[in-house]
């Protein structure tokens, strides 16, 4: 099978906290990370670390520095990275909290200075991302439970006219394909760590999308824009955008009449 390629942008960025501002910084970056996750689907990974003091067996090299803050970030592509650094969340964070960090010129943010940072862009050569939560999670009213296993990891759309179907899905979702055995057109996605969702519902043939059977949902940034692209490419609207249980979804039909679910980014 062909080797998967990726346009993801990965980087580390180190910032330096002013003495006495540690607690305020941690509160601020915690809010920032939550806002980035909920509002920037192009930001695939956003992890903020301080150095661990160690327990005697593990020691940092160079030695532990409680004022060092390290970001590890992965973006869908270069444009997603630019959207983050130039967007309102990050720029407002710098304006509001920049003076909690050592600045490049020793002046304040109000005087036009900026936090002193180091940045290293990364090129992944090998490795993997393991599920970060294989153990217990909190569900319901805080009761611990084993995390659900065996997530859905592949879908197939079997078309009467494969070429036309490939064209439709490329126009709507921007997919490219890699040819496999028998001309099967594989759609590869970059490795990401994000919530996965599935469910089993009661059939109701009077409600679009609730006929007996099964459906798959494709993640999109904007339901209305995706529906408009689908209609323009020869598909049809099927289920209007709906909000329920903390997420928004809709459904379209492709040119052969197959229902396709659309879902916006959500946080479990």
* Domain range 9-122, CATH architecture: 2-Layer Sandwich (3.30)
159-196 per-position pLDDT tens digit: 999 999 999 999 999 998 888 888 899 988 877 667 77
Evaluated on CA atoms 158, 161, 163, 164, the torsion sign reads negative
DSSP classification of residue 95:
H
pLDDT in tens, the chain (268 residues): 333 346 789 999 999 999 999 999 999 999 999 999 888 888 989 999 998 876 667 777 777 888 999 999 999 889 999 999 999 999 999 999 999 999 999 999 999 999 999 999 998 888 777 655 433 333 333 444 456 777 777 888 899 999 999 999 999 999 988 888 888 999 888 776 677 778 888 888 888 878 888 889 999 989 999 999 999 999 999 999 998 888 889 999 999 999 999 998 876 5
pLDDT of residue 250: 94
How many other CB atoms sit within 10 Å of the CB of residue 111?
Answer: 10
E strand or H helix that includes residue 219: strand 217-219
Q: Boundaries of CATH 3.30.70.100 in the chain?
A: 9-122
Instruction: Pick the closest to residue 48 from 28, 62, 65 (CA basis).
Output: 28
Phi/psi class of residue 177: alpha, beta or left (left: φ > 0; alpha: ψ in -120 to 50)? beta
107-118 per-position pLDDT tens digit: 999 999 999 999
Q: Give me 46's structure tokens.
A: 């956003």
Q: Give me 199's structure tokens.
A: 């469910």
Q: Boundaries of CATH 3.10.180.10 in the chain?
A: 162-187+204-263
Q: CATH homologous superfamily of domain 162-187+204-263?
A: 2,3-Dihydroxybiphenyl 1,2-Dioxygenase, domain 1 (3.10.180.10)
Rg (CA), the chain: 23
């Amino acid at each position: 099978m062909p080797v998967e390629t990726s346009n993801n942008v990965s980087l580390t960025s180190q910032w330096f906290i002013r003495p006495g501002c540690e607690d305020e910084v941690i509160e601020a970056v915690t809010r920032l990370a939550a806002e980035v996750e909920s509002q920037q689907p192009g930001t695939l990974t956003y992890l903020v670390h301080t150095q661990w003091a160690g327990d005697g067996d593990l020691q940092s090299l160079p030695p532990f520095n409680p004022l060092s803050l390290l970001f590890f970030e992965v973006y869908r592509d270069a444009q997603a990275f630019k959207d983050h650094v130039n967007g309102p969340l990050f720029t407002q964070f710098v304006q509001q909290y920049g003076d909690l960090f050592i600045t490049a010129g020793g002046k304040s943010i109000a005087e036009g200075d900026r936090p002193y940072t180091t940045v290293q862009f990364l090129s992944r050569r090998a490795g993997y991302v393991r599920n970060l939560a294989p153990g217990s999670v909190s569900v319901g009213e805080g009761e611990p439970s084993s995390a659900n296993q065996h997530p859905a990891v592949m879908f197939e759309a079997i078309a009467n006219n494969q070429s036309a179907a490939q064209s439709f899905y490329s126009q709507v979702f921007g997919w490219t394909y890699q040819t496999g055995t028998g001309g099967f057109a594989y759609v590869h996605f970059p490795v990401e760590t994000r919530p996965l969702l599935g469910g089993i519902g009661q059939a109701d043939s009077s409600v679009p999308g609730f006929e007996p059977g099964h459906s798959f949902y494709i993640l999109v940034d904007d339901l209305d824009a995706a529906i408009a692209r689908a209609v323009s490419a020869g598909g049809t609207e099927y289920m209007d955008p709906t909000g329920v249980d903390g997420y928004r979804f809709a459904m379209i039909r492709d040119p052969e009449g197959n229902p396709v679910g659309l879902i916006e980014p959500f946080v479990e």
